Chain A
C-alpha cells in the first residue's frame, strides 16, 4: 500500500458561516458564486460551480440549499436539481464525516477490489451508498481512479490509497475519525 496525500484543505469540512441546510446563501458563499458568475456569459452557467461551493461549505446539498441556489441564479429548483442529480459527486443526501470512494472498474476488479469491498462491508457494516450509523464514513463505488497500475485503489476524502490489501484497511481507516 502506498499513499498520496493531496495538499488541499479537505474539501468536505465542517460548515463555517452558513447553517447546514440554512435557507439562504451565506455572504461568503455569495462572494464565491459571484466570482464564478463574472467568468461566464450568463448567471445560470455558474450553477455547477454554485453547487460545488455550497457542498464544500455544507457537505451536501439539501432541498433548502438547492432552492437558495435556484433563487440566486434565477433558475427554477427542478432545473438545478436536474443538473445536481446528473453528477456523481454532488451529494443530494447527507454524507458522513469522511467519504470513501472505492474503485470498482476493470483493472481493480482483476486485482481484487471485490475482496476489498467485502472486507469494508464487514468492517463498516454498510454497503455502497450508505453511511455508518456513527456518521463516520459514507462508502461509494467510483469509476477508475486513474492509478490502475497500482490497483486496487480507493480514496478517502482527498487522499488516494493504492495497492491496497484487505489486511491494510484497519491501519488506513484509523486515520479518519
Chain B
C-alpha cells in the first residue's frame, strides 16, 4: 500500500469501477481485516482513540469535526453504560454528492472493518449502517458482506478470537434528507419522525435509545483501517495541507469528465476542474461553483486556486462540505438554479421549527416569481432578510442555515442577474422553465 507520498489512494485503489465490488476473499488478499486483528491483539480502546486523535482525521460528513475528539467524549470504563452504539451515516442525500456511494458499492468490507474498529474504540456492542433507500445495489452488497463477515468471525461473539463482541445491522431509510442530520437519524432509527434533537445532551452521552452513540460518515469510517495499518504520521502526510488524509472529491455539471477521485486533502479547485474533470464542455463557461454540495456558498472563477480543505474553503467564504462540487455554467440561470435548491430545502425541511418551515417556502416562492418575470425590486431585500433570519443560531438545526448559503452568495456574486430578471420582467436565459 506504499507508493509515492502524496500519490496514495488508500480508500479507492482497489475499487475496480464499473460497479464491481470487493468480496471478502479479495479484501483479505489486499490486507483487509489485518488492522482489526492487530487492534484486538495489541491495542486498548484508549490507544486506538489516541491513534485516531493523532491522525487528525476530521469527519467527512460535512461539518469537519475531529473524529478523535468526538470519540473521546464517550463515557468509558467500568462505570460507563454497558450498551453503546456506533452508527455509519450512509444517508447521502445532499444534492450534488455521490462519494459515499463509491465506497459503499466498491469496497463495503472496508467500511465494515472501519466500523468494527470504531465500535471497539468506544466499546460499543451494537452497530448500524443507516443506508438511504435509493442505494439498492449497495443494500444487496452490504447484506452479503455482513453475512461473510459474521461467517468469518469478524462480527458476533469473540471477534477474531478476542473477548470483544459486536452486532452489526443494516437499516434502510425511507427517504428524507433530514435523516442525515445525526440526531434526526437517531429518531428515525427509534421509529419516530426524523426531527432533530436538542443538544446537549450530545449523542456521545445520550444518543440512540438514550445510550452513548457515535455517528460517523462512511468516508470517515473507511479511513480507520488505513490509519491503523500505516500510522498517524503517514495519514497526516497524505495531504498537501493542514487537514490530513485523502479526500474523495467530485465534480458534476457541464464539464467534460464529471466524476469522483480520491486525491490529497487540499487539492486545488483548479486541479479538480481542469485536470480531473477535464475542464468545461465546449461552448460553456464557468460561472460559479458550489464547492461541497447544495448547502455551501457559491465560489466563482476567481477562487480556482483555493485549496479544497476545511480552513481554506472557509477562508474563501464557503465550506468544504462533502467535497463534491457542482459547477454552474454560463447558460444555466443562477435564479433558476437557486430556486431549484430552495425547492429542495423547502420540501425537505422537517417542519419542526417555524423560521425554516415557513421561511424557506417563502424564499422559494419569491425566487419563482422573479424567475417567471413577476419579481419586484423589494423582493431582493426580502431575500436578504431571510438569509439573516434563517442563518446560524436562528433555527433548530443546520438545514436552514445550509439552505441560505447558496442564496446569500448568489445574491452577492450574481445580483445583477437577479436585477435583470426584475427589470426585463422575464428570465434572460433560454432554458428557464420548469
Tally of chain B residues near chain A (CB < 8 A): 60
* Distance from A102 Cβ to chain B, minimum over Cβ atoms (Å): 12
Known: A88-B176, A110-B337, A114-B434. A83 touches B324 (CB 8 A): no
Q: Which of B63-71, B117-125, B245-253, B416-424 contacts A (4 or more CB under 8 A)?
A: B245-253
Q: Which of A17-25, A146-154, A166-174 contacts B (4 or more CB under 8 A)?
A: A146-154
**A83–B187 alpha-carbon span in the complex (Å):** 11
With CB as the reference atom, state the residue of chain B lying closest to A148.
B252
Check A139 for interface membership: any CB of B closer than 8 A: no
With CB as the reference atom, state the residue of chain B lying closest to A144.
B95
* Distance from B132 Cβ to chain A, minimum over Cβ atoms (Å): 7
Tally of chain A residues near chain B (CB < 8 A): 44
With CB as the reference atom, state the residue of chain A lying closest to B144.
A7
Main secondary structure of the interface of A (DSSP, over half): mixed
Residues of A within 8 A of B192 (CB): 83
Check B97 against A146 for contact (C-beta < 8 Å).
yes
Q: Interface 1/0s, chain B 136-176, versus A by CB < 8 A?
A: 11011000000000000000000000000000010011111
Most chain A beta-carbon contacts within 10 A, residue among B190, B332, B341, B347: B190
Q: Which of A109-126 contact B (CB under 8 A)?
A: 109-111, 114
Check A106 against B340 for contact (C-beta < 8 Å).
yes
Check B294 against A105 for contact (C-beta < 8 Å).
yes
* Distance from A49 Cβ to chain B, minimum over Cβ atoms (Å): 7
Residues of B within 8 A of A158 (CB): 136
**A158–B95 alpha-carbon span in the complex (Å):** 20
Known: A7-B137, A8-B136, A158-B136. A147 touches B175 (CB 8 A): no
| A/B interface sample: 24 pairs, CB < 8 A | A47-B191, A48-B174, A51-B174, A87-B173, A87-B176, A101-B134, A105-B95, A105-B340, A106-B326, A107-B96, A110-B326, A110-B328, A114-B434, A143-B93, A144-B95, A145-B134, A146-B97, A146-B100, A146-B134, A147-B98, A148-B250, A148-B258, A150-B258, A151-B258
